[in-house]
Structure 1
């Protein structure tokens, strides 16, 4: 089966819109769901029956469906007449990014300043959050148990850096930041900081009655929009590319495959999880039961047995798509001397023999075949032996579900910064390769 090029730079334009509209995992999954709805997918509730005899029309066995749970989404497309033991082709990604998150008692201040108490989420480059205009976004939970998305997308907060006159050695000895003392943003002036001020402000901004908000999951984001960069606009600078770039590409690929007239030997799946940046151990993380539950219920909804489930999982392959490190021109010695991925060189295959990535030789062959069908070049990534690499949802997915998993992604600079950098061609190259993979 030959997968034609479906995407070009227009996908990169759309990625930039997606990044700007997705300042939190909750916004990211809402925007993903909106794109899938336009492609004919329909949401199914986990509390509903999914079998053909008792399910509502929205949970009909064939067609495109998705499940939302907090900051995670699992979407899949079942071709008409797919057998219960039909294997899956999964693209896995994550919706969360390192940032500053609001504490349960957020109102803080002193010396005439009004501040917001924040906790460090994941492993951000702390210095990238200094002297940057920040908005506030996330999820508000209301007294009746419902939730409301909120996005204050204007300069609201700022973490001011200490002037060089008060830290003369900063340029020679390096910047040292204490996560508790030095990272609390300011958002105004007051000699009377009162508990409840921030939430009252968000209630007002959201058109909610005072006292209606009883819970919140809030985080900061840079309000500077994504932008093309460089003489020839061959680069893109923007926030949360790790890993909304993969979420966006996988969403576009799944929508394209569902609209294709090609006969699909697999059931294509998108699984975008929350909490990858802090270990994935949650009900919406890759180490939780969400993906396995959805896949199993899909098998059983088509009349399958446990044997069918075992057969389907045995033939399933997952691409764990996450960003990786492009060679840095100012720090080339930090990279492996024979592996220098470049931006706009195509997606990367990530390998680590200590299973920080899940790729093995047979997985490499599957990925290489998909790229060949798509006409997409790919690069190899391995870490310098002296600098152990990070990890992804790949090994977790392989171990938890017993399915073959391959780690891939796009090479970027400034990973975990408030603003990252990628090649303008790599997003659509990744999406084209994902189409070929999902089509089989």
Structure 2
């Protein structure tokens, strides 16, 4: 009996020591985060500002869809290109998560994944200068797919990095300022690219020249992050697991938090609404015309509104939680689509692209930040990956189906489908998704 009592006491003492040691490591981790906050804040800011400036030139619903249409003459190819980009993001986030969730330092993986994504942009630019005809179309589609693959993996790693070095109460304002300044630069560059690069076909291919600018800017941002970031080692990490074993755990990861499960549904419906996004600029070309100057003007509207709204979204999210941001962004997205369908004057189209830019900016910030607030820290890499994969599955099929539908029935049907997805996402968000920050505080 005495031996059993001693064993119980020893076990209790060991557990208490382990709890104390974990608490000490948590405290040291928290201290490291706050001690290095200024440096890490600056690194994330420069990376986001320069990186997002370049990526917006590629991802804005103007230049790349217009370029694909110009070299192929097909709506279906435009849809296929955007679908391939999203297809790249279906599996790569999960692969990226399995490669970093067991590591105490993830910056080396971030450099590889981010660097390869930037190389894909450079290859798109070089294809335009050295290839022509059908070969150019296939090369662009291939590098768009590669860009999607590396961006899907990068999304997991860089979201994880931000969650490690930026406290939850500072994330909204960081994203606000980096997106705002990056968006301001991108808006000016987009206008300038349309007028001075694409319209005169500078250096033989204005689109390629634009993509080279995107490559340079994103590379500078990645270099700034590598130089400035000081990454802490977390107190706990998950043990390394095989890819297929982590796939089997998806249902349990989703089922353990019903609000997170419904949040995934909202993400999938919202990304399904992107079925119309590549065709906004093509629809504008049909109803009012879209030369290089118009492309620049509408890109300026889209990115400029993105810039200004980020400050509102970031501070609102820090203060009220990002569920509010998500609700407002879905409403704005719906309004922008309705405006584009019904108002066919230059000022109205400019306004619709501005509202669309602000709304998509709010959606992206809310979706990427809310996901960091569900569940435990150790499951965060895979939770980010699940969300990225869920979005990419629907975003892959959307543009491809949209291209085929637009080719057969016209743009109006595609826009109406988008509105239906947005309405469904809004209803589920209101009824089933509670703000994870409010729940955590409760």
TM-score (norm. length: structure 1): 0.24
Task: Point out the structure with the larger strand share.
Answer: 1
Higher relative contact order, structure no. (Cα contacts within 8 Å, ≥ 6 residues apart): 2
Q: TM-score with structure 2 length normalisation?
A: 0.24
